[in-house]
A and B are shown apart, each in its own frame.
Chain A
């Protein structure tokens, strides 16, 4: 199959030399079967080895290769280059500090993830009293119970949702779609007992109520997680939990 020459414009930033990111153009002979990532890899391998970008699995599982392609956050290993014209602009994910070229800083994102306590929390002394605690020492869960949160557990942490979110763009401290969706995923898990604690976090500043339900996160999610649904379901849960707390005594928090 014949190749087509495309102009790939890459955002470059060298922290040792550049004041700010700049653009660099490359003429790339593109195969019709290529994904956007293939073009960036070609540039790195054949034209300019100084280009820096992240990638790993090439099958939309690892979540490493998220970049802005013509202004849209995309998982580049999943995005066909043929969808675009002769000129394709590739930039680092929006709303993240840029470490180098197409590589963004992840620290803030990881802090946010950690803050929602994304693990199953149990009240230890009650563990063996649970109805669904079976003889193997595990907690049984029906397919229906799994179905309630499975969708929200499919997130691959690609951060496209943060790049698309207009609230993150205006309020960088906003907890953001993926972290809230993850917290909500554990809240919906029947094995978990940390819901009240997470709802307390969700009621804090810069969390679920900062979301204006733009739905951009769900539009760009490559795995169909629908974080906007999770965030807005979490709003409801956080309010109900707050109202219950006004009339009912609080249970002790589950151990970390």
Chain B
């Protein structure tokens, strides 16, 4: 990995230069709905940390045998777990919608002669794949297919 391309960028002022006040946060930064939405988006990382932790625990219980697995399944029926999973679902939908909205414009304008489809097509495609996979997995878990 190369070093920073701009080592002096925004460095504190050196002696001899005009004295400056350090960068200020605007006094009302928290009042912007956009900033609040972004903070909420960032905070979803905490939920995924616990989701990951729980997933590892469940896999571990599976390895412990059928009794441990049944006990874990029983524990997941606890209302606290159910509330946690509802919050996780809402957070996944929130992050996915945000990601789908921003994904099309991150595509390169061209890769050689090939050009990506228009933004709305990519956007719609993401939703189709997401909903399609969700339906497939739901059907598989319900035992309708597979």
Q: Point out residues on A near B: beta carbons under 8 Å.
A: 11, 13, 15-16, 18, 20-21, 23, 68, 70-72, 89, 91-92, 94-99, 105, 107-109, 111-112, 115-116, 148, 166, 168-169, 172-173, 175, 188, 200-201, 203-207, 212-216, 219, 226, 228-229, 232-233, 235-237, 240
Contacts and interface: CB of A to CB of B under 8 A. Distances in A.
A126 B129 CA distance: 46
A21 B8 contact: no
Contacts of A91: 24, 26-27
A228 B6 contact: no
B74 interface: no
Contact of A204 (B5, B24, B31, B110): B5
A229 B20 CA distance: 33
B106 A94 contact: no
Contacts of A233: 106-109
Contacts of A13: 21
21 contacts: A13-B21, A16-B19, A20-B21, A21-B24, A68-B26, A72-B26, A92-B24, A94-B24, A97-B10, A97-B22, A97-B23, A111-B6, A112-B6, A148-B110, A175-B5, A204-B1, A206-B4, A212-B42, A213-B102, A213-B106, A240-B111
Given A175-B6, A203-B2, A21 B21 contact: yes
A207 B6 CA distance: 9
Given A111-B9, A112-B9, A237-B108, A169 B24 contact: no
A80 B12 CA distance: 34
B5 A97 contact: no
Contacts of B32: 71-72
A11 B3 contact: no
B: interface residue count bin = 35 or more
A99 B13 CA distance: 10
B5 A115 contact: yes
A115 B27 CA distance: 32
A213 B105 CA distance: 11
A168 B31 CA distance: 19
Contacts of A23: 27
Given A15-B18, A216-B38, 17 more contacts: A89-B27, A94-B23, A95-B10, A96-B23, A97-B10, A107-B8, A108-B8, A112-B10, A148-B109, A166-B38, A172-B10, A172-B11, A205-B2, A213-B102, A233-B107, A236-B107, A240-B111
Chain B binding surface, main DSSP class: loop
Given A172-B10, A201-B5, A204-B1, A98 B24 contact: yes
A141 to B, nearest CB: 14
B65 to A, nearest CB: 42
Contacts of B109: 148, 188, 233
A246 to B, nearest CB: 15
A105 B2 CA distance: 27
Contacts of A237: 108
7 interchain residue pairs of minimum CB distance:
A108-B10, A232-B106, A71-B28, A97-B20, A204-B2, A71-B26, A98-B21
Contacts of B11: 108, 172-173
Contacts of B142: none
Interface in B99-146: 102, 105-111
Contacts of A70: 28, 31
Contacts of A72: 26, 32
A72 B33 CA distance: 11
B67 interface: no
Contacts of A228: 102, 105
A148 B25 CA distance: 35
A18 B22 CA distance: 12
